[in-house]
Amino acid sequence: MDTYNTLLVERVGSTAIITINRESKLNALNAETLWDLSRVLGLLIVDTTVRGMILTGAGGKAFVAGADIQEFVGMDGTEAAQLAARGQNGVMDKIANCPKPIIAGINGFALGGGLELALAAHIRIASTNAKLGLPEVSLGLIPGYGGTQRLPQLIGRGRAFEMIMTGDMIGAEEALSYGLVNYVVEETELLKKCLTLLERMYLRSPKALAKVIEAVNTGFLEPKTGFQQEISLFGASFDTDEAKEGIQAFLEKRKPNF
């Protein structure tokens, strides 16, 4: 595995843990961090020994406290749009469309681009001290890494409008009640919970999981074609070796070998 200036990448069994490692900056997303994330995601997606990933932040204070605002100074509209495109295409969409499950382990602040990073993951688990928000309007800006699209999909338009237009943070329990996170756990249990959930998924067919991600994403991005895509992927799944193994294992009353 390559080395990165802004990330730590560790392996626990079949899981890759990607830690944003800029603790002194509360793990803020600067251009270098986005580039490192894009590179490591590209490698892990094609690594056949990796079955899932966890995204988290270094230290106990922040998952990712937002973008590195210092980089915004002097930036014009064209440059800002290019930055948003690189972030969305190179990182957020790679996470959202990754054929392997990705869980965001939210420890502390997940603000602005940090929350958008978590929103791109398939599942979010928060520590009890987590604070989540999209405060861009307080800077005269709007979210640029998919926040205006993914947040309403998760929690509904009304609550998303309130979070984005007030810029206020919400706590972990409120995020849980909104459906923004799946679980809230003590910080010391955060990685363990993420790993335990992934290990349950690893008992299932990897090819089926990839098709689930594709089908669910299609339904959000292209609602009119979601049902037809499910039909197509359902059919395609029957042609995989894993489906044949899963069906045979069920009939033989044994665990499948995926």
Catalytic residues: 116, 136
Report CA-CA distances (Å) from 237 to 39, 109, 243, 245: 30, 40, 6, 12
Q: For the chain, where are the alpha helices, taking DSSP H only?
A: 31-46, 77-87, 93-96, 113-120, 147-155, 157-166, 172-178, 190-201, 206-221, 223-237, 241-251
CA distance 88 to 84: 6
Residue type, 180: L
Look at strands 102-106 and 52-57 and give their pairing: parallel
Half-sphere exposure of 58 (CA within 13 A, CB side): 16
Give the residue from 136, 204, 143 showing the smallest Cα distance to 166: 136
